[in-house]
Chain A
Amino acid sequence: MRSIRYREAVREAIAEEMERDDSVVLLGEEVGHYQGAYKVTEGLLERFGERRIVDTPIAEAGFAGIGIGAALVGLRPIVEFMTWNFSFVAFDQIVQNAAKIFQMSGGTVKVPIVFRGPNGAARQVAAQHSHAVEPFYASVPGLLVVAPSIPRDAKGLLKSAIRDDNPVIFLEGETLYAIRGEVPDPSADELIPLGVARVAREGSDVTVVAWGRPYHTAMEAAERLAADGIACEVIDPRTIRPLDEETIVRSVRKTHRCVVVHEHWPYGGPGAEIVDRIQREAFDDLDAPVLRVSSLDVPMPYAAHLEERVLPSVERVVEAVRRVCYR
């Protein structure tokens, strides 16, 4: 299989779906002429023209709302947030409109739209530019939340998201964009279903659940722990909502121990949700409390060494795994 970068995988998914369906249109800041703030949309303007690759002014609530409005009446917009930090000014549109219209209309009006962009911390961009937003959106019924960690999943999940008739929150990562991985040829038209987790690494001693950037941290920790004779089973949920509880619980029933690694803050959120489901569904199978490794409970500091301290690290994952294994 060929190997491409995460950003190319996202770009291919967009291009293939635009090729297939004229109702797919991309709106966002600097997506066209500038070729994308993170070069994800490079070349798309040349390929699809200004009718379908729409550069917007800085007005997130406006273009998110325009995307939702167009979705109500037949388009399938992809709305790019330059980063998810800028989605907060459009929060009202996403939560009050995108997530609610299907229900408010008694199931008669669908909202097929994808909101996408990089999520989480980049490097030293400080308090206002470093949010892992999944807790905010995953708490809302009426939204789907997807967070692919590797190129193949980014492509296959984005294609499914674009074809889905519901609003999808699609979380990429600035620090993920350059990651390479195997992705099937465009001719395969691979669709990866939303709501299905991936067992990234099999192991019998402890289950580690992680997505986004911390997924790579967890994989590295698993490698290091393997050298010490601790076999981690790493599960990437891929979709945060709906959550593939079955795959996670099945694994915990096997390993009897679990660590959840996530970039969002420790108070609540998907990390706590996963722990809650495990304690309900696999209480009798657990040999240790389920632990979480998260960002520290502070706004992100600018200084590099402090940022490193705040984000989940390989060392902290290793330590948590050792604790649940009592060794």
Chain B
Amino acid sequence: MATSESEPRIDGAAARPGEASAYSVEQREALVPLYRTMLLIRRFEEEAARAYAQGKIGGFLHLYIGQEAVAVGAEAALRRDDYVFQTYRDHGTALARGTSARACMAELYGKDTGCSRGLGGSMHFFDASRHFFGGYGIVGGHVALAAGAAFKAKYRGEDRVSVCFLGEGAINIGGFHEAASLAGLWKLPLVLVVENNSYAMGTPFSRSSPVEDITRKAAGYGMAGDRFEGHDVLLVRDRIAQAVARARAGEGPTLVEVLTYRFRGHSMSDPGKYRTREEVEERKRFDPVPLARARLLGWGIDESRLRALEQSVEDEVADAVRFAETSAPAREDVMRACVLAERASDAGGRA
């Protein structure tokens, strides 16, 4: 397990002694909604896994369970009009952006009411209205797209930032290298967030990279680099905020490596023989969701308040499942219409 030198692990059990006084009341309050969103992602995906086992969801289902603090912390560092791109492990990112649990669950069920109208499925969530430009299935293929959104922001003189999440398995592929090369050269307002969850399918990071610290690549691309543990949502928020601030100020891209862990298999079909139960159990001590809860309690937030919030998450997820189950299936006419956008000539315009 890789441990960053700059940021020693805190114990997952509780808040650090005397920590509460280091945070203002507002800062402490800010953790409440972040905890709620992490819990929403967790519970959403647990229900999705159940529906998958019942055959109600098909294809690949890559769960984000264990990594929630990354998407939620990053989102808290972003403005609503910033651009976001993610891999196929995209449920958490969409929910953090504010896409409804209903639209997400309906997508998994292949329903017309899904966020990609049942055409995309788990791997291809989109919510353009929230500037979430998708989950992508080809490793490394989306990194240049995020750089392209950053290019647009710079071109138009907007102070928007583009964030791209990718797995540590993506750092060897050409798509990553070429996108990073251009983003560094052109000082694009881009933040590359490598979610290093220790495994690319069954390949431990040590077998896919001869160098442990991914951010060492940043120098070669002319980027800033930052590397830290990803189980503390506030820390994730604050560190990514620094990268976002640099990008917004025109200082160019940052290569961020967040050390995290997925508690579930690569996808639902992964037998997971490449790691031990003990290893997974050990990592669960750093589960970001109970960690945030313990911290809130440690800060004196009322447990009854948390219970009410947790109940509201249960209700929201149950509602999403009901909505997905009762929604109309994805439509063939929509499938046929979604090959090309309407063209000027179709609309009676002149070619």
Q: Which residues of A contact B (CB under 8 A)?
A: 29-30, 33-34, 37, 55, 57-62, 85-86, 88-89, 123-129, 296-299, 301-306, 309-310
- Chain B interface: which size bin? 35 or more
Pairwise interchain contact A301-B173, C-beta atoms closer than 8 A: no
* Docked complex Cα distance between A305 and B332 (Å): 9
Closest CB in chain A relative to B18 CB, distance in Å: 44
* Docked complex Cα distance between A59 and B116 (Å): 29
B311 interfacial contact with A, CB 8 Å: no
Which residues of the other chain, A, contact B110 by a CB distance below 8 angstroms?
124, 302-306
Pairwise interchain contact A59-B172, C-beta atoms closer than 8 A: yes
Name the residue among A30, A58, A123, A305 with the largest chain B CB count within 10 angstroms: A58
A59-B174, A301-B118 given; A30·B202 CB < 8 A:
yes
B186 interfacial contact with A, CB 8 Å: no
Closest CB in chain B relative to A133 CB, distance in Å: 14
* Docked complex Cα distance between A57 and B200 (Å): 9
- Beyond A34-B203, A58-B169, A58-B172, 13 additional contacts (C-beta under 8 Å) are A34-B201, A55-B203, A58-B208, A89-B175, A124-B59, A124-B110, A125-B59, A125-B123, A126-B137, A127-B124, A129-B123, A302-B110, A303-B111
Pairwise interchain contact B119-A303, C-beta atoms closer than 8 A: yes
Pairwise interchain contact A30-B203, C-beta atoms closer than 8 A: yes
* Docked complex Cα distance between A310 and B119 (Å): 12
Option from A30, A58, A86 in Cβ contact (under 8 Å) with B170: A58
A301-B119, A303-B118 given; A62·B172 CB < 8 A:
yes
Closest A-chain residue to B331, C-beta based?
A306
Closest A-chain residue to B121, C-beta based?
A302
Option from A33, A34, A85, A303 in Cβ contact (under 8 Å) with B329: A303
Name the residue among B111, B137, B140, B200 with the largest chain A CB count within 10 angstroms: B137
* Docked complex Cα distance between A173 and B62 (Å): 22
Closest B-chain residue to A63, C-beta based?
B172
Closest A-chain residue to B208, C-beta based?
A57
Which residues of the other chain, A, contact B141 by a CB distance below 8 angstroms?
89
* Docked complex Cα distance between A123 and B174 (Å): 28
B207 interfacial contact with A, CB 8 Å: yes
Name the residue among A29, A302, A304 with the largest chain B CB count within 10 angstroms: A302
B350 interfacial contact with A, CB 8 Å: no
Pairwise interchain contact B140-A58, C-beta atoms closer than 8 A: yes
Pairwise interchain contact B59-A89, C-beta atoms closer than 8 A: no
A123-B58, A305-B329 given; A128·B119 CB < 8 A:
no
* Docked complex Cα distance between A214 and B136 (Å): 28
* Docked complex Cα distance between A59 and B202 (Å): 15
Which residues of the other chain, A, contact B245 by a CB distance below 8 angstroms?
none
Option from A58, A88, A89 in Cβ contact (under 8 Å) with B200: A58
Which residues of the other chain, A, contact B137 by a CB distance below 8 angstroms?
85, 125-129
Closest B-chain residue to A297, C-beta based?
B339
Pairwise interchain contact B124-A89, C-beta atoms closer than 8 A: no
Option from A89, A125, A310 in Cβ contact (under 8 Å) with B60: A125
Which residues of the other chain, B, contact A58 by a CB distance below 8 angstroms?
139-140, 169-170, 172-173, 200, 208
5 examples of A-B residue contacts, CB within 8 angstroms:
A59-B173, A128-B138, A298-B335, A298-B336, A304-B110
* Docked complex Cα distance between A24 and B274 (Å): 27
A89-B138, A298-B339 given; A303·B173 CB < 8 A:
no
Closest CB in chain B relative to A266 CB, distance in Å: 13
Pairwise interchain contact B330-A303, C-beta atoms closer than 8 A: yes
Which residues of the other chain, B, contact A29 by a CB distance below 8 angstroms?
201, 203
B209 interfacial contact with A, CB 8 Å: yes
Which residues of the other chain, B, contact A61 by a CB distance below 8 angstroms?
173-174
Closest B-chain residue to A38, C-beta based?
B269
B120 interfacial contact with A, CB 8 Å: yes
Closest CB in chain B relative to A193 CB, distance in Å: 35
A34-B274, A58-B139, A297-B339 given; A302·B119 CB < 8 A:
yes
* Docked complex Cα distance between A126 and B208 (Å): 27
Closest CB in chain B relative to A184 CB, distance in Å: 32
Pairwise interchain contact A129-B207, C-beta atoms closer than 8 A: no
Closest B-chain residue to A88, C-beta based?
B138
Closest A-chain residue to B59, C-beta based?
A124
Closest 4 CB pairs of A and B: A302-B121, A303-B110, A124-B59, A34-B202
Pairwise interchain contact A126-B339, C-beta atoms closer than 8 A: no
Which residues of the other chain, A, contact B174 by a CB distance below 8 angstroms?
59, 61-62, 89
Pairwise interchain contact A89-B173, C-beta atoms closer than 8 A: yes
Closest CB in chain A relative to B209 CB, distance in Å: 7
* Docked complex Cα distance between A262 and B51 (Å): 33
* Docked complex Cα distance between A301 and B120 (Å): 6
Name the residue among B170, B200, B203 with the largest chain A CB count within 10 angstroms: B203
Which residues of the other chain, A, contact B124 by a CB distance below 8 angstroms?
126-128, 302
Closest CB in chain A relative to B272 CB, distance in Å: 10
Which residues of the other chain, A, contact B338 by a CB distance below 8 angstroms?
298-299
Closest A-chain residue to B108, C-beta based?
A302
* Docked complex Cα distance between A293 and B209 (Å): 46
